[in-house]
Amino acid sequence: MVKWHRSPSLCLETAVHYELQADRASDPVARQKFLDLAFEWRKSALIYESEGVRIVPSQEAGASEKGAAALALSEYGAE
């Protein structure tokens, strides 16, 4: 059985995927659901970047990656 490791970059890639889906959605309800999913994935990226959660081996994450995730969440009004 393959063990899946969630990483901040995977979370951010998935968030971008859902944001693109939202851009393409013509139905407002579907669009909002995609945006909600993207928000949750971006929030997950911040959680996995934090010091408290280490699911993947520690890597030297540059400030740019952390800054990008924080900036992305600030677009949605989250902290």
Domain containing 75: what range?
A: 30-52+62-79
Residue 68 lies in a domain: yes
Residue 6 lies in a domain: no
Residue 70 lies in a domain: yes
What local confidence, expressed as pLDDT, does residue 41 receive?
94
Residue 57 lies in a domain: no
Which among 11, 16, 9, 77 has a CA at the least distance from the CA of 41? 11
What local confidence, expressed as pLDDT, does residue 29 receive?
97
What local confidence, expressed as pLDDT, does residue 63 receive?
46
23's CB contacts (< 8 A; 6+ apart) are none
What local confidence, expressed as pLDDT, does residue 55 receive?
52
Distance CA 63, CA 27 (A): 37
In the chain (79 residues long), the average pLDDT of successive 10-residue segments reads: 70 95 97 97 89 50 50 53
Residue 74 lies in a domain: yes
Residue 78 lies in a domain: yes
57's CB contacts (< 8 A; 6+ apart) are none
48's CB contacts (< 8 A; 6+ apart) are 6, 7, 8, 11, 55, 56
Residue 43 lies in a domain: yes
What local confidence, expressed as pLDDT, does residue 8 receive?
86
What local confidence, expressed as pLDDT, does residue 33 receive?
98
What local confidence, expressed as pLDDT, does residue 7 receive?
83
Residue 19 lies in a domain: no
Distance CA 26, CA 35 (A): 13
